[in-house]
Amino acid sequence: LWQQCLARLERHVPLDELNTWIRPLRLDESKPDQVALQAPNDFVRDQVSEHYLSMIRDFFAANGIARDQVFIEVGNQPRRVTASKAPRQRGGVHGLDDRYRFENFVLGNSNELAFAAASQVAKKPGKAYNPLLLYGSTGLGKTHLLHAAGHQIAADNPDARVMYLHSEKFVSEMIQALRRDSIDAFKRRYRSVDTLLIDDIQFFAGKDRSQEEFFHTFNSLLESQQQIILTCDRYPKEVDGIEARLRSRFGWGLTVSIEPPDFETRVAILQKKALERDLELDDSVTFLIAKRMRSNVRDLEGALNSLIANARFSGRPIDVEYTQEILRDVLAVHDRMITIENIQKAVADFYQLRVTDLLSKRRTRSIARPRQMAMFLAKSLTQHSLPEIGNAFGGRDHTTVLHACRKIEALCETDGRLREDRARLTRELSS
Ligand code: ADP
Ligand code: MG
């Protein structure tokens, strides 16, 4: 199949490029159900990954081999450890997604602190900050950084056991273990890892027995300086339903927020993701998408994927007209869709705060008033109920939201400045 792939590439890649980059690759025959290509050095590997890998993957995908089973590594030492085949006993990774790497994470003001913290920890697991906790709303790259740190640790420490786990899975495995009377094995399993990556710890809220178990795992790992990295969708001390002792422990290491990306970062992310697919998009196209899709990277990526898929299928070039045609509905929805997230972002920008400030429990006037404004706008511009809005603001009670709405209305009667703010924000959000 690799020979067929080469023959196919000959038709699309200029001969000198083919000879320089593709021909030196060797197929690793010891991995029959994967396509493990070996490059003679880092340079060739990087060039091929950047420019040809996605074509190679296209070919194998058409022949029934999943894209993530096709990869390139240097010489005989595998750089990539695939989750499913990783050895269980000593060393190895569990549950890591190969796509999420530090190298393909795009940096901007909104995420550089989180990135720096994660890469520090990955360089010195157990020694830099422990635990590291990343928090921020959905689709901003928390899970991506979590996996990236895991990959880095595994690559630098071949003997280390690195385990990624969603909190929900922790809970369900624990329940199973209890049911099967195998809780000791469960404990051993989690306490024997060198690095534990736990995603979305807000899921522990209200699950007392899981918290108890997690608390002990957590302590045992910390004591022996095993690295723990956690993520949460809001400031962790403010997740209701998590025991105080666990909450306070989360804060022992370093807690860093990740914010929605600004325009430039959104453009950079689009360009990077397009390049990964061997496409260079015109600025007019990336600007158009980035301008209109503001709140999170996941949606941005979704729009780009659908654009590329359509263009490949129809053979049309991706220009502004085609983008508008293909993404018409998505963009229209986003334009019209005034989400709580967008409101929080707009209000935070307007008052020069961070979204996480709005979600925090801090009560200083300079934060409390903008927060009330954001709640008011959420109530008046979206269909969400009071409890839903309260929940989106760091898990507040619906009466708090009601109070905020009344307060803003009352103040606007007399306070011209605030009335002006409200009008401007409403206009900005509805335009
Ligand atoms: P979260 O866990 O915060 O909800 P994810 O990590 O799942 O978000 O990110 C959603 C998607 O956006 C993923 O596909 C991820 O790779 C991508 N993504 C997020 N931030 C970045 C970034 N800065 N650079 C590149 N891709 C990103
Ligand atoms: Mg996530």
Look at residue 75 in the predicted model and tell me its pLDDT: 75
Look at residue 31 in the predicted model and tell me its pLDDT: 82
CB neighbours of 271 closer than 8 A, spacing ≥ 6? Answer: 280, 281, 286
CB neighbours of 322 closer than 8 A, spacing ≥ 6? Answer: 307, 311, 316
- CATH number for the region 2-79 comes to 3.30.300.180
The per-residue pLDDT string of the chain (431 residues; one tens digit each, 9 = 90 and over) reads 888 888 888 877 777 778 778 888 888 888 878 899 988 887 788 888 888 888 899 888 888 888 889 999 887 644 444 444 444 445 688 999 999 999 999 999 999 999 999 999 999 999 989 999 999 988 999 999 999 999 999 999 989 999 999 999 999 998 898 888 888 898 888 888 999 999 999 999 889 888 888 899 999 999 989 999 999 998 887 788 888 888 888 888 999 999 889 899 999 999 999 998 889 999 999 999 998 887 789 989 989 998 998 888 888 999 999 999 988 888 877 666 678 988 999 999 999 999 999 999 888 999 999 999 999 999 988 878 899 999 999 999 999 999 999 999 999 999 989 999 999 999 888 76
Note the CATH architecture for domain 92-257: 3-Layer(aba) Sandwich (3.40)
Look at residue 335 in the predicted model and tell me its pLDDT: 65
- Which homologous superfamily is 340-430 in? DnaA protein, C-terminal DNA-binding domain (1.10.1750.10)
- Binding residue per annotation — 141? yes
- What count of residues does the chain have? 431
Fold of 263-336: Helicase, Ruva Protein; domain 3 (1.10.8)
User: Where in the chain are the domains?
Assistant: 2-79, 92-257, 263-336, 340-430
Q: Which atom of ligand 1 is nearest to the CA of 261?
A: 23
- Cα 286 to Cα 282: distance, rounded to the nearest angstrom: 7
ipTM of the complex: 0.99
Q: What angle do CA 84, 93, 208 make, to 5 degrees?
A: 100
**Residue 43 burial by Cβ neighbours in a 10 Å radius (0-12, 13-18, 19+):** exposed
Q: Which atom of ligand 1 is nearest to the CA of 146?
A: 6
290, 270 Cβ separation under 8 angstroms: yes
Residue nearest to atom 25 of ligand 1 (CA): 105
Q: Which mutation among 134, 144, 264 tests ligand 1's pocket best, with the greatest number of atoms within 8 A of CB? A: 144
In the chain, what's the furthest Cα-to-Cα distance?
A: 78
- Cα 38 to Cα 110: distance, rounded to the nearest angstrom: 36
Instruction: Report how far ligand 2's centroid is from the alpha carbon of 135 (Å).
Output: 10
Q: Which residues of 138-152 are buried (b: 16+ CB within 10 A; e: fewer)?
A: ebbbbbbbbbbbbbb
Instruction: Report how far ligand 1's centroid is from the alpha carbon of 318 (Å).
Output: 24
Which residues does ligand 1 sit against, CB inside 6 Å? 100, 104-106, 111, 138-144, 269, 297-298, 301
Q: Which atom of ligand 1 is nearest to the CA of 140?
A: 3
